[in-house]
Amino acid sequence: MLTIGVLILDILLATPAAWLTTHANLRGKRIFSVLCTLPLAIPGYVMAYALLGLGGNNGIFASFFGKSLSRLSGYWGALIALSFYTSPYLFLNLRSALLGLDPNLEESARSLGHKQWSIFIRVILPQLRPAFYASGLLICLHVLGDFGVVSLMRFETFSYALYVEYEIAFDGHNYASWLALILLTFTGCLLFLETRLLRSITLHRAGHGVSRHRSPIPLGKWKSAGYTFLILLFIATVAIPAITVFLWMFRAFEVSALDGLLEALIGSVGIAIPSALCCAILVVPFAYIGVRNSTRFSNMLARIPYVIYAIPPLAFALAIILFLGSPQTVIVLICACILHFLAEAIGPVRSSLYQASPNLEEAARSLGSSPVGAFFRAVFPLIIRGMLTATALVFLATMKELPLAFLLRPAEYETLAINVWDYTSEAMYAQAAPYAFLILLFSALFVGLLIRKEDT
């Protein structure tokens, strides 16, 4: 129920936001795109604590308005926190797909008398199916494997019970093993469902002519509603957690908390950059095999990253430790992040491949190019946008990754996420604020540069 609820709420939040920031005649669409992506830079446990901090006598609402609210917890608290945290996954995939749509199809539908709502439902939505399926699968896997949000919200799930069992009994308790098998079974069902849904999808241009830039769609009297929706989405998913971080920082801040800030930043960036770049490159063969050579064997190969991603991070890290012995090195940590987050990079690249006609490769090969040369000359320029989106997704995920870094890092290696968790687990929220704020700020600047590069 939690997974289905998160999916529905994410669709309601991300779909209008992606359309408004790509098709509508709104000013500052690049800024709004960055704002809609910022929740990815906020760790899930920070998002959950921020929502918990709204209520109570000392909560944010009581501090500003003098009246206390009941604290969110249980199913509804976990639903809202996970939806706010995972909605950028769907937003980025939809935005990348919308930017690659051919505007001639919309103009043809408009010339046949269809209104804008009819064009959106009949023309645009069917072309967004790969983006919906890829991001939906990613969100489902994340919800199934989440521990921080559900534990703070006191909502028991399979992953919560699995983490508790691994924490209590390291020797591989039977109950924890069965829970892990159930999670993998759920993942297998989701992968099979996505494979069946993606079968026989063809979205590239089949006729003559070339695609061209689209003209922004005037919203008329709905322009203010569009701005209001984007602003409210930013307030709910970014402003409230940011205000919570600032309150932690100014209520009881100590200068001693800044001693390890630079070291933690270097540690996080040193893991995030190579992991993101490697994932964006390694994901291309998996996506290409799944799109261009759709056979049963190729589909199995293309789903390997999802199977790895479905393993809860703590269980995945423990498996690496048991297999390698004592692998606490930076190289092992980076390799573990690449393997774990490879699934997050597939969606944008695969959506770009669906929109790249195979006729381009055939034309390049007929002119004397080798298969590899035809790919790099005809297809690679068309999937760069998807690769940039994939890089952003993996970079942000690695910047705030906790379980893998906690178990696989060297003893003296510090990251921003480790420091945030160490301080918040001891209820030292003011000391954790600089590290949480730096994750948000640094990730926001990085995403802003990527979106600017995407648009050009």
Tokens in use for 250? 């100014």
Residue 78: burial class (beta carbons within 10 Å; 0-12, 13-18, 19+): buried
Gyration radius (Cα) of the chain, Å: 22
In a domain, 212, yes or no: no
pLDDT for 169: 57
pLDDT for 209: 46
pLDDT for 65: 74
In a domain, 412, yes or no: yes
pLDDT for 419: 83
In a domain, 215, yes or no: no
pLDDT for 175: 64
In a domain, 213, yes or no: no
Query: What pTM was computed for the model?
Result: 0.71
Tokens in use for 266? 């270097």
In a domain, 264, yes or no: yes
Measure Cα distances from 102 to 83, 94, 127, 213, 406 in Å: 30, 14, 10, 8, 45
In a domain, 214, yes or no: no
pLDDT for 213: 57
Look up the domain containing 57 and give its range: 2-207+220-455
Q: How many domains does the chain have?
A: 1
In a domain, 62, yes or no: yes
Measure Cα distances from 320 to 19, 177, 278, 339, 410 in Å: 42, 16, 20, 11, 14
d(CA 392, CA 398) in angstroms, rounded, equals 10
Largest CA distance in the chain: 74
The CATH code of the domain that includes 115 is 1.10.3720.10
In a domain, 201, yes or no: yes
pLDDT for 207: 47
| pLDDT of the chain, 456 residues: tens digit per residue | 788 899 899 989 988 888 888 877 788 787 888 788 878 767 777 787 777 777 766 666 777 777 777 777 788 888 998 999 888 888 888 887 787 776 777 767 777 777 777 777 777 777 777 788 878 877 887 787 777 788 778 787 776 776 676 666 555 445 666 766 776 677 677 767 766 766 655 554 444 444 555 667 777 788 888 889 999 999 888 888 888 777 777 765 566 656 778 888 889 989 999 999 999 899 888 888 877 776 777 777 777 887 787 777 877 877 787 777 666 788 999 999 999 998 888 878 887 787 777 777 778 878 877 877 887 877 788 788 788 878 887 887 888 887 788 778 887 888 888 887 777 666 676 777 788 788 877 776 766 665 565 555
Tokens in use for 81? 């926190």
